[in-house]
Chains A and B, each alone.
Chain A
Amino acid sequence: MSHQETDKRKHGRLVWGIVFVALAMFGFGFALAPFYSLFCEITGLNGKVRTEAVDEVAYDVDVSREITIEFVTELNERMPLAFSVETPKMKIHPGQYYTVKFYGENLTDRPMLGRAIPSITPGTATAYLKKTECFCFSEQRFEPHQRREMPVRFVIDPGLPKDIKEMALSYTFFDISDTQKD
């Protein structure tokens, strides 16, 4: 009997040790979520762009460099919005500020709440695109059949790595009307 008792105690210690590891790994999985976001924000690896405005500071315009930037407009899950951009492609100089106009039109009879998520390719260019104004900084409300102009003002930091000659800025609009109702 006493032999069994010590067995039980010996097992118990090991069991709780292992259970602790399992619980810690469960927590670790959740901890990876904020860690992943932070990692991507610092490295810009997933092309996720900061969604806060930066102050307009003056840069030296580097007219010797010309970069082609494309604007891509996308909708998630057939969102009923007509989403477009005035110029799909521009040639720009680093250091100079530009404004492009995007348009959104609500095609339904109901008010619509949208959220635009920007993404930049190549991911390494992410940190150099600075925006002082963008519709992606906040949720966008569209009244029924309302058509709105949404300007984006941005500059490319002249520190942009030399090998980047082309980049794309894409916006995907998500319909979040449902999530806001309740």
Chain B
Amino acid sequence: MTEATHEEYAIHDEHFAHGHHDEHDHHGPAKGFMRWVFTTNHKDIGTLYLVTALIMFLVGGAMALVIRAELFEPGMQYVDPAFFNQMTTLHALIMVFGAVMPAFVGFANWMIPMMIGAPDMALPRMNNWSFWILPFAFTLLASTLFMEGGAPAAGWTLYPPLVLQGGAHLPFAIFSVHLLGMSSIMGAINIIVTVFNMRAPGMTLMKLPLFVWTWVITAFLLIAVMPVFAGAVTMLLTDKFFGTSFFNAAGGGDPVLYQHLFWFFGHPEVYIMILPSFGVISTIIPTFARKPLFGYSSMVYATASIGFLSFIVWAHHQYTVGMPLAGELYFTYATMLIAVPTGVKVFNWVATMWKGAMTFETPMLFAIAFVVLFTMGGFTGLMMSISPADLQYHDTYFIVAHFHYVLVPGAVFALFAGTYYWLPKWTGHMYDEKLGKLHFWLSTVSVNVLFFPQHFLGLAGMPRRIPDYAVQFAEFNAMSSVGAFIFGFSQLIFVWVVIKAIRGGEKATDEVWEGASEHGLEWTLPSPPPYHTWTTAPDIK
């Protein structure tokens, strides 16, 4: 192949036909669909992840609306209980593995190389793989809906023996989990290698933007716990099909072992979803407060301590399985300890805003709502960390309220904040600020109408994962369902804002946000950035 053809975009497909992969070609993207299939460009892959995450967010959201429609009134209205349980299970699996995690990987792909002055991710071809595994994994998972016995219905925790009693879905759901795990691990490897090996000269570890730091720690969590989860579901598979008895009491196993394995993964997993959010919020607040982040190094240490502590608190999800007193006490104290570094973070965010010259564009609004509402979720977490109290809260709507506060106005709001913040950089166009604000206010009000009443339902004893309930719970459930529908449909505004900004709009400056170039390398690049950036490393002050 000659030099000349290198410069031609249109025949890029042919490059691959000849097995020619030169990631460092200085040209733009290939044309057509194949650009997306074969791309090894971090920006393209970031976009693929983000688009997939948005689609999965809408799919998972539609399932949530099925749940809330059924729960609008007591009694059985629209779906049968088996399907209801499939909806709760798939909703959670899709939101966790399909929406939140891929969206943060999308942010990482787009932003980490631009933030640390690297030309691309360290392992571009693996990057392509780790994305393209996802559509197959989700197809496998979704296909279970059409199988005899339906989709998995035992909850996203897939507890045995219940999950083993379902229909034909089990091997498909489990292979899908294996694929998702492999994709996450490959993504994590890429991030660690990029950050360790590809930083521009002078970009020392303690100069890394906090978003990069939080992602490095998240990547380590992924590598440590995804394989344990993969192992646990493999044991489910062999218990079901190959006569092993890991979790089968008749053969000398114990179903509680599964819970330990699951939560050894599961608790770090919830931090896998929240640490990158912390990074996004720590990036946005300084920009709009026009001050450097307060307590940068304490933020790094707090993130690392949260990462470490997340490995030693798992059994706070199992206070009711009959642990000995010493175990209950240990897990109570260890869990409460997590509130300390988390408190450090909240303090630092507030201190960053303190006496700042603040403006309230959409990203900042979402960031402030994050700080307030995530903290509320943290407080309910603290309540549940106290094992004697949790005996009452466990498996009620109180815990549903807790984790939705940390995940929706927590992780998902951080995703909105980050999208509004970086969208002008990605597309080169300002998004529609009016619609953005409308999206913010509708989402923030409705998310509280949706989840706040669930605290009361839980305290009054309404169990989670049921399709019908006693009549005394009717009012709060109706309220919650109304909030859910408003929240759900408000997200269409977000979709529209994103599409609009991609298609055109007011031209964004390089800096986009006043003074942003002091807050990160990405704001010194053009908007939109060229296909290849930092092919020569930037100077780091």
Q: Once the chains bind, are A21 and B322 in contact (CB under 8 Å)? A: no
Residues from chain B with Cβ under 8 Å of A4 in the complex:
24
Which 10 residue pairs are nearest across A and B when measured between Cβ atoms?
A: A29-B231, A174-B250, A26-B227, A25-B227, A29-B228, A36-B257, A115-B250, A22-B227, A117-B249, A18-B189
Q: Would you mind naming 27 contact pairs between A and B with Cβ atoms under 8 Å apart?
A: A4-B24, A7-B122, A7-B197, A10-B197, A11-B123, A15-B189, A18-B189, A18-B223, A21-B224, A23-B227, A25-B223, A25-B226, A26-B231, A29-B228, A29-B230, A30-B231, A32-B260, A36-B254, A36-B257, A40-B254, A47-B322, A76-B249, A124-B324, A174-B250, A176-B250, A176-B251, A179-B243
- Does B192 have its Cβ within 8 Å of any Cβ on chain A? yes
Task: Give Cα distance in the complex from A174 to B324, angstroms.
Answer: 26
> Which residue of A7, A48, A123 is within 8 Å of B324 (Cβ)?
A123
B235 touches A33 (CB 8 A): yes
* B197 contacts across to A, CB distance below 8 A: 7, 10-11, 14
Asked if B256 CB lies within 8 Å of chain A CBs, one says yes
Q: Are A46 and B123 in contact (CB under 8 A)?
A: no
Query: Is B185 located at the chain interface by the 8 A CB criterion?
Result: yes
CB-defined contacts of A26 to chain B, threshold 8 Å: 227-228, 230-231
| Alpha-carbon separation in the docked complex, A83 to B473 (Å) | 40
Is A19 engaged at the interface, CB distance under 8 Å to the other chain?
Answer: yes
Question: CB-CB < 8 A to B227: which residues of A?
Answer: 22-23, 25-26, 28-29
Q: CB-nearest residue of chain B relative to A174? A: B250
Q: Does B196 contact A (CB under 8 A)?
A: yes
Taking the nearest CB of chain A, how far is it from the CB of B267, in angstroms? Answer: 15
**Bound CA–CA A10/B261 (angstroms):** 34
Q: Total number of A-B contacts with CB less than 8 angstroms?
A: 92
Inter-chain contact B246/A33, CB cutoff 8 Å: yes
**Interface size class, chain B:** 35 or more
Is B193 part of the binding interface, using a Cβ–Cβ cutoff of 8 Å? Answer: yes
B225 interfacial by beta-carbon distance below 8 Å:
yes
Chain A hits for B231, CB < 8 A: 26-30
Given A26-B227, A172-B249, A174-B250, verify A45-B323 contact (CB < 8 Å): yes
Q: Cβ of B512: which chain A residues have Cβ within 8 Å of it?
A: none
Q: Does A37 belong to the interface (CB within 8 Å)?
A: yes
B residues in contact with A123, CB < 8 Å: 322, 324
Q: Would B192 and A18 count as touching, CB distance under 8 A?
A: yes
Q: Residue of B at shortest CB range from A175? A: B250
Flag if A46 contacts B189 (CB, 8 Å).
no
B232 within 8 Å of A (CB atoms): yes
Q: Give the residues in chain A near B226, CB-CB below 8 Å.
A: 22, 25
Q: How far is the CB of B188 from chain A (nearest CB, A)?
A: 8
Q: Are B193 and A11 in contact (CB under 8 A)?
A: yes
Instruction: Tell me the minimal C-beta distance from A174 to chain B in angstroms.
Output: 3
Q: Please determine whether B223 and A21 come into contact, CB atoms closer than 8 angstroms.
A: yes
Return the CB mask of B323-335 against A: 1 if under 8 Å, else 0. 1100100000000
* Bound Cα distance A123, B254 (Å): 15
Which of chain A's residues have a CB closer than 8 A to the CB of B192? 14, 18
A45–B256 CA distance with the chains assembled, in angstroms: 11
Given contacts A14-B196, A32-B257, contact A25 B228 (CB under 8 A): yes
Of B24, B122, B196, B260, most buried by chain A (CB within 10 Å of CB) is B122
The 0/1 profile, CB within 8 Å of A marked 1, for residues 220-243 of chain B is 000111111111100100000001
Closest to B192 in A: A18
Q: Across the interface, do A29 and B261 meet the contact criterion of CB distance under 8 Å?
A: yes
Bound Cα distance from A10 to B228, whole angstroms: 28
Question: CA–CA, A26 to B230, complex, Å?
Answer: 7
Q: Do residues A25 and B224 form an inter-chain contact, with CB atoms below 8 A?
A: yes
User: Which positions 244-260 of chain B face chain A at CB distance < 8 Å?
Assistant: 246, 249-254, 256-257, 260
User: How far does the Cβ of A4 sit from chain B's closest Cβ, in whole Å?
Assistant: 8
CB distance from B190 to the nearest CB of A (A): 9
Q: Is the CB of A33 within 8 A of B257?
A: yes
Chain A residues, CB < 8 A from B189: 15, 18-19
A14 cross-chain contacts in B, Cβ below 8 A: 192-193, 196-197
Residues from chain A with a CB closer than 8 A to the CB of B323 are 45
Chain B contacts for A28, CB-based, 8 A: 227-228, 231
In the bound complex, how far is the Cα of B327 from the Cα of A10, in angstroms? 44
The distance from the CB of B407 to the nearest CB of chain A, in whole angstroms, is 25
| A124 and B327 alpha carbons, distance in the complex (Å) | 13
Name the A residues within 8 Å of B229 (CB-CB).
29
In the bound assembly, the distance between CA atoms of A19 and B250 in angstroms comes to 36
A36 near B260 with CB under 8 A, answer yes
Residues of B476-514 contacting chain A, CB below 8 A: none
Contact status A76-B230, CB under 8 Å: no
